[in-house]
Amino acid sequence: FLGRCLRCRARLLSPGKATLPHRLKAAGYQTYGRFVGKSWKRYHAVGGFVRQHQASSVQSLHAHQVVADVRRWLRALQAKPEPFFLMGHFADPHAPYKPNDLFEAGEGMRGAYAAEVRYTDHHVGRLLHDLKRFGRMDDTIVAVFADHGENLGEHGDAGGHHGVSLFDEVIRVPLFIYVPGVAPRTVSDPVSLVDLAPTLLELTGASPLPDPDGRSLAGYLFDAPPPPAPTVSEFYNFGHRLRAVVH
């Protein structure tokens, strides 16, 4: 968890090769990552990628650019015999909220935020359409997740920012995992984003992480759920030291 690797926002300890992209690359995967922003190397987030590209800013709409880059890679990877790991990073639902030409914003901050969420959803859908068009939905795992939500005034604050509380609107985020041949289901147990890497590594047969904070959720997909476990949420920034445990 952050508490054992983060000294401050500018000093995140390096995980070395104990990361999801490194493990998949070692297992023979072509690993490609498209990041929004240009400072991810400072946070040790770009290691293990055969190819990675950092561009755009959270201050602008960029989902169309992310999709263009990922689609180009996806087309190129069709000719390669190796399996692939493609990561597309979207940060459109992010303050400051910008109007887009596809979905009209509703009233106030919530309406503007919802329009950005719909805009991102539309562009993620374009990538899923490409996977179907290339006939890859039968052999591709798809994971869609978010790192945080937004404070939109639910607790009396001004809203329009994230990371300054551990209320549900910030820490209860989407996590969808599609596995070919597995029937859809909903998991009501608390799970965590730190469970995602162990889950994908088990599903792909790659080597597990040596000391993960999370655990694999693969059992949920095959009617063998793991025992319920508490989730931990942490925030260290702007003078805050916040922790929450959910049972």
195-204 per-position pLDDT tens digit: 999 999 999 9
In this predicted model, what pLDDT tens digit does every residue of 124-143 receive, in sequence order? 999 999 999 999 999 999 99
**Cα separation of 196 and 194, whole Å?**
5
For 14-23, what is each residue's pLDDT tens digit?
889 999 999 9
Cα–Cα nearest to 95, from 157, 161, 37 = 161
Going by C-alpha positions, the residue among 126, 125, 106 that lies closest to residue 116 is 106
φ, ψ of residue 125 in degrees (nearest 5) = -60, -35
Q: Return the closest-CA partner of residue 70 out of 22, 31, 122, 127.
A: 127
Tell me which DSSP letter residue 81 carries: S
Note the pLDDT tens digit of each residue in 174-211: 999 999 999 999 999 999 999 999 999 999 999 999 99
In angstroms, the CA 16 to CA 20 distance is 11
